[in-house]
Each structure stands twice: as structure tokens, then as C-alpha cells.
């Protein structure tokens, strides 16, 4: 079976990109990465299946969302993190 990929975008509540956010994915495989200057993290060569994706950045409340990766497809997920007072 062909693997897929995932594009994760991390923003604040106003839609501004959050570079340097930690992104962890758990499912058929586990990976972690960090968002680039555009607030994006890309994970390639992922086995198809269901994943839980967690985004966190100091000063913001972490958030977790489910998503699915399909063969030869790119799953896209956007987080809008809230400030942690």
C-alpha cells in the first residue's frame, strides 16, 4: 500500500502563523516536528490510517485533533491555538 503525507498549519486565534510550534503525530507511526517560518510542518511517507495530532507552543494552550492519512494523499490540518494566560 502506498503511503501518504500530512501538512499541519499552526496559527494563533487571529490566523497569524506560529513558527517554532511543536507538532506530534501518533497513529500507525509516531513522528514529531516543528513548524517553519510559515507555521507549517510537513510529514511525508506516513502509513495510511488514523492519527492524533498535537500542536503546542509555549504561551499557548496545546490542542489535539484527529485526522486520517489516505494512500497517495496529503491530509491537511489547521490548528488555531489559544493564548494560555
Quick: pLDDT tens for 19-40.
999 999 999 999 999 999 999 9
Rg from Cα positions in the chain: 12
User: How far apart (Å, rounded) are the C-alpha atoms in residues 8 and 55?
Assistant: 9
DSSP state of 49: E
Closest CA to 6 of 61, 59, 71: 71
Joined together, the cell numbers standing for residue 63 give 490542542
| Predicted confidence (pLDDT) at residue 17 exceeds the cutoff of 80 | yes
Rounded average pLDDT over 2-25? 98
pLDDT tier at 85, thresholds 50, 70, 90: confident
pTM metric for this prediction: 0.95
pLDDT tier at 84, thresholds 50, 70, 90: very high
Give pLDDT, residue 1: 72
Amino acid at each position: 500500500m502506498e503511503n501518504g503525507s500530512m501538512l499541519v498549519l499552526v496559527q494563533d486565534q487571529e490566523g497569524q502563523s506560529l513558527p517554532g510550534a511543536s507538532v506530534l503525530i501518533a497513529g500507525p507511526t509516531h513522528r514529531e516536528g516543528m513548524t517553519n517560518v510559515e507555521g507549517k510542518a510537513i510529514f511525508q511517507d506516513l502509513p495510511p490510517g488514523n492519527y492524533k495530532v498535537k500542536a503546542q507552543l509555549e504561551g499557548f494552550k496545546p490542542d489535539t485533533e484527529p485526522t486520517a492519512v489516505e494512500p497517495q494523499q496529503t491530509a491537511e490540518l489547521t490548528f488555531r491555538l489559544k493564548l494560555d494566560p
